[in-house]
A = this chain, B = another copy of it.
Amino acid sequence: MTYCVGLKLDKGILFMSDTRTNAGVDNISVFRKMVTWEVPGERVITIMTAGNLATTQAVISTLDERGKAPEDRAPSLLEEPTMFRVAKLVGETLRDVIKSQTDTGQTADAFGATIIVGGQIAGSEPRLFMIYAEGNFIEASDDTPFFQIGETKYGRPILVRAYDPAMSFEDATKLLLVSFDSTIKANLSVDLPLDYMAYETDSFAIAQQGRITVDNPHFKQISNGWGDALRAAFASLPDFKF
């Protein structure tokens, strides 16, 4: 499995992804699931992927090759005029990759993947999309300001309760660390290290980018502290009486 979250904030967009991939429980590896394309001053586009690793790597490679030699490989992520067109291109690429694999007679489910795409292109607002295996997609809004893909359920309650669009990037990163920690504690298919990227509106540059490993002191504090904080929160609730 995998766990990735894209979070729209007043300040911009925050992305976080884990790095565990598994085929069964006895074949696990570390793979990066977040890729960012940056043209300073003009566009920043980040993609996170969940699902069949062969599919998602083929999608990223296809998109990346087009970007590197744009003169003969249109359309390219680096030339699309809007984020909507970027999402459409990523969706079409995903659908084409899955189609090419299912031509051998396998079912599409086995090759499925979901993608979060977000960023900003000069001339329009930052936008955040979730793309389905079918190639169609939905956009984040004020009502639904974040998208999760992969193993989404364990980490959802804290996002639903504590998300606030006015959060700073650092507070939002803390929130995502709690959400990821809850997921990691409850199942084997999501694990450290975690990759993050913060994009600040109208900066057209990466604000913060990094990897949180198992030795990260902030993560340790948050992970250890969250158990105590939850128990204190629980104790603070009014008692139940039969």
- Closest B residue to A196 by beta carbon equals B242
- By the criterion CB–CB under 8 Å, are A173 and B230 in contact? no
- By the criterion CB–CB under 8 Å, are A231 and B186 in contact? no
Interface locus among A38-46, A50-58, A83-91, A151-159: A151-159
Number of copies: 2
Q: Which residues of B contact A222 (CB under 8 A)?
A: 237-238, 240
Q: Which residues of B contact A241 (CB under 8 A)?
A: 170, 218
Given A153-B153, A153-B186, A154-B153, A161:B240 Cβ within 8 A: no
- By the criterion CB–CB under 8 Å, are B229 and A237 in contact? yes
State the interface size on chain A (CB cutoff 8 A): 42
A239 at interface by CB-CB < 8 Å: yes
Q: Which residues of B contact A234 (CB under 8 A)?
A: 158, 162, 174-175, 178, 229
A69 at interface by CB-CB < 8 Å: no
Q: How far is the CB of A1 from chain B (nearest CB, A)?
A: 11
A226 at interface by CB-CB < 8 Å: yes
- By the criterion CB–CB under 8 Å, are B230 and A161 in contact? yes
Bound Cα distance from A170 to B147, whole angstroms: 36
- By the criterion CB–CB under 8 Å, are B158 and A156 in contact? no
- Closest B residue to A170 by beta carbon equals B240
- By the criterion CB–CB under 8 Å, are B230 and A177 in contact? no
- By the criterion CB–CB under 8 Å, are A238 and B225 in contact? yes
A236 at interface by CB-CB < 8 Å: yes
Query: Can you spell out 10 A-B residue pairs with CB atoms less than 8 angstroms apart?
Result: A156-B186, A162-B230, A162-B231, A169-B242, A170-B240, A171-B239, A198-B242, A210-B242, A226-B237, A229-B233
13 extra interchain contacts, Cβ-Cβ under 8 A, other than A160-B185, A171-B240? A154-B156, A157-B185, A157-B186, A158-B230, A158-B234, A161-B226, A169-B242, A171-B239, A178-B237, A218-B240, A222-B237, A225-B236, A225-B238
Closest 3 A-B residue pairs measured CB to CB?
A153-B153, A229-B233, A233-B233
